[in-house]
């Protein structure tokens, strides 16, 4: 498409009702920040339509903090991210004026979208539908609207003449308040029309604010575009709405994953962030949290209560109940848990097994390694097919520094063994149970490092105490 598009996100409001010690655009949302969602939707819109353009943010409250977050999160974008400053919050039309004043690139645009920073569920799909409605019908401006049984707080859509107008709750009369089609706060507007209309908006209303909604009127070539799904447009003004918006975002993402072949046992009690990818054939049980840059492959099983953050799981991985994974890689057909813990930097090889109550930190375990029970593996490298017995510990920390343990392939480490790092064992080593290893072992060697057993016949009675 040949249009140049500006996508403007209004984010100057204070958001005091959220009662968070943060500027509203930085409110937490699915392990990101509220403002990331409209920014991402705007960037995706430009990408999928192939339009030229930019994203503009109108900042006010907490401007510096929001700006620094945006710079960190959206550096190296294909499209420019411009920031405008609305010094005083005098209404949504005033916010758009701040954009027009500070962002000269608006002069290049044919169409301007206006989005609110506090409606995170809207995606590029809704932007595209709105854009098509504007273009296909040759309109000057369109507003996304929805029907709600509880329209309180929203601007009402009042149809008449060839266009429509929006009447804010405070300014609406009895009849208008009964209208259930309401304004979502998302618009697509021809730039020429916006420039023409915005200069005439006044603050002659009950709030004494400059309402952007006044660009619409009954005699204009404008139309409302009704969307069926109300859940897309939830605005985040308090913590209850924040919770609902997070849920709506996750559910929208999980429904999409379900359509692509992911099976949720109970989607309504599963917490998959929109940033997480999951392959088809995978089954996800309830009370699973998957967050951040997590990628889960095909045909995996993720059992209840597992938490997976910023991790990569290849195909056919099984995460058994109540496992906790952070910044780790689990390779094809490996098996973790129940009650497995992978701390950052763990790389678990294909067909490997990490059993119950095993903690792994910053370690590479190659293909087929088994650590099946009750162990701590930290700062270690373990070669393929090595079996680690129950109750194994890498003693990696000397109180000041961390040290490495290396164990070669095809080795057998008996239960209740400790490796006092730094220590290195070659391939095909055998460590007897109960050994404390503090010397390197060459490949093929056997080590036993435990006190010799002494057995005294008939002596037990000296030690067995009777209660009577
Ligand atoms: C607005 C609409 C209303 C619509 C509702 C949908 C107006 C006049 N009304 O009302 O019709 O139903 O959204 O949620 O537009 N902002 C600024 N600077 C300002 C004022 C607001 O940047 O001076 C930003 C806010 O940070 C927010 C957005 O604009 O992201 C919307 O402002 P808000 O005060 O929430 O408007 P509503 O009263 O909800
Ligand atoms: Mg609002």
For the stretch 66-110, pLDDT in tens is: 999 999 999 888 999 999 999 999 999 999 999 999 999 999 999
Q: Which residues contact 331 (CB under 8 A, 6 or more apart)?
A: 314, 317, 347, 348, 349, 350, 352, 367
Q: What is the pLDDT of residue 17?
A: 87
Q: What is the pLDDT of residue 1?
A: 62
Q: What number does the ligand 1 atom closest to the CA of 182 have?
A: 12
Name the pLDDT band for 13 (thresholds 50, 70, 90).
Answer: confident
Would you say the CATH fold of 375-468 matches that of 262-361? yes
> In whole angstroms, what separates CA 178 from the centre of its chain?
38
**What is the domain class of 4-239 according to CATH?**
alpha beta
For the stretch 167-187, pLDDT in tens is: 999 999 999 999 999 999 999
Ligand 1: which residue has its CA nearest to atom 21? 92
Residues with CB under 6 A from ligand 1: 10-13, 58, 60, 86, 89-92, 94-95, 116-118, 154-155, 166, 168, 182-185, 211-213, 235
Query: What CATH number matches the domain at 262-361, 3.40.50.300, 2.160.10.10, 3.30.70.330, 3.10.150.10?
Result: 2.160.10.10
pTM attached to this predicted model = 0.92
Q: CB of 155 within 8 A of CB of 166?
A: yes
Q: What number does the ligand 1 atom closest to the CA of 168 have?
A: 11
For the stretch 404-457, pLDDT in tens is: 999 999 999 999 999 999 999 999 999 999 999 999 999 999 999 999 999 999
Q: What number does the ligand 1 atom closest to the CA of 12 have?
A: 22
Ligand 2 center from residue 356 Cα (angstroms): 48
Question: Which ligand has its closest atom nearest to the C-alpha of 155?
Answer: 1
- Is the domain 375-468 a CATH 2.160.10.10 member? yes
Does residue 373 have an active-site annotation? Answer: yes
Answer yes or no: is pLDDT of 466 > 90: no
Ligand 2 center from residue 172 Cα (angstroms): 17
Could you state, in order of their start, the residue ranges of all structural domains in the chain? Answer: 4-239, 262-361, 375-468
Ligand 1 center from residue 23 Cα (angstroms): 15
Ligand 2 center from residue 75 Cα (angstroms): 28
Name the pLDDT band for 336 (thresholds 50, 70, 90).
Answer: very high
């Amino acid at each position: 498409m040949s249009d140049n598009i500006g996508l403007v996100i209004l984010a100057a409001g204070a958001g005091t009702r959220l009662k968070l010690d943060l500027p509203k655009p930085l409110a937490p949302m699915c392990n990101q920040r509220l403002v990331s969602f409209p920014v991402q939707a705007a960037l995706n819109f430009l990408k999928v339509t192939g339009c030229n353009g930019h994203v503009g943010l109108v900042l006010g409250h907490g401007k510096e903090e929001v700006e620094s977050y945006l710079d960190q999160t959206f550096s190296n974008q294909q499209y420019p991210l411009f920031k405008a400053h609305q010094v005083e919050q005098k209404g949504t039309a005033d916010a758009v004026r701040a954009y027009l004043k500070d962002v000269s690139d608006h002069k290049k645009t044919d169409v301007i979208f206006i989005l609110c920073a506090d409606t995170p569920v809207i995606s590029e799909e809704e932007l595209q539908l709105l854009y098509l409605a504007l273009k296909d019908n040759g309109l000057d401006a369109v507003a996304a609207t929805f029907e709600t049984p509880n329209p309180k707080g929203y601007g009402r859509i009042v149809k008449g003449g060839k266009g429509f107008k929006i009447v804010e709750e405070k300014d609406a009369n009895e009849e208008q308040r009964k209208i259930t089609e309401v304004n979502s706060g998302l618009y697509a507007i021809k730039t020429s029309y916006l420039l023409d209309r915005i200069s005439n908006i006044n603050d002659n209303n009950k709030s004494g604010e400059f309402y952007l909604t006044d660009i619409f009127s009954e005699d204009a070539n404008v139309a409302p575009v009704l969307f069926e799904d109300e859940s897309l447009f939830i605005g985040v003004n308090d913590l209850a709405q924040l919770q609902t918006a997070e849920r709506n975002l996750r559910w929208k993402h999980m429904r999409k994953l379900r359509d692509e072949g992911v099976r949720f046992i109970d989607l309504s009690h599963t917490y998959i962030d929109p940033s997480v990818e999951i392959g088809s054939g995978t089954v996800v049980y309830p009370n699973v949290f998957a967050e951040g840059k997590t990628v889960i492959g095909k045909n995996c099983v993720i059992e209840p209560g597992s938490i997976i953050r910023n991790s990569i799981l290849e195909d056919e991985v099984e995460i058994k109940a109540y496992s906790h994974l952070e910044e780790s890689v689990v390779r094809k057909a490996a098996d973790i848990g129940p009650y497995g813990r992978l701390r950052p930097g763990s790389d678990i090889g294909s067909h490997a097994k990490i059993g119950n109550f095993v903690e792994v930190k910053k370690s590479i375990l190659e293909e087929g390694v088994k650590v099946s029970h009750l162990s701590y593996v930290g700062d270690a490298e373990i070669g393929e097919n090595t079996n680690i017995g129950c109750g194994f510990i890498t003693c990696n920390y000397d109180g000041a520094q961390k040290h490495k343990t290396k164990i070669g392939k095809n080795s057998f480490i008996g239960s209740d063994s400790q490796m006092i790092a730094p220590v290195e064992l070659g391939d095909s080593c055998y460590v007897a149970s109960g050994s404390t290893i503090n010397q390197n072992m060459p490949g093929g060697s056997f080590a036993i490092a435990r006190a010799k057993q002494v057995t005294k016949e008939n002596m037990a009675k000296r030690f067995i105490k009777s209660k009577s």
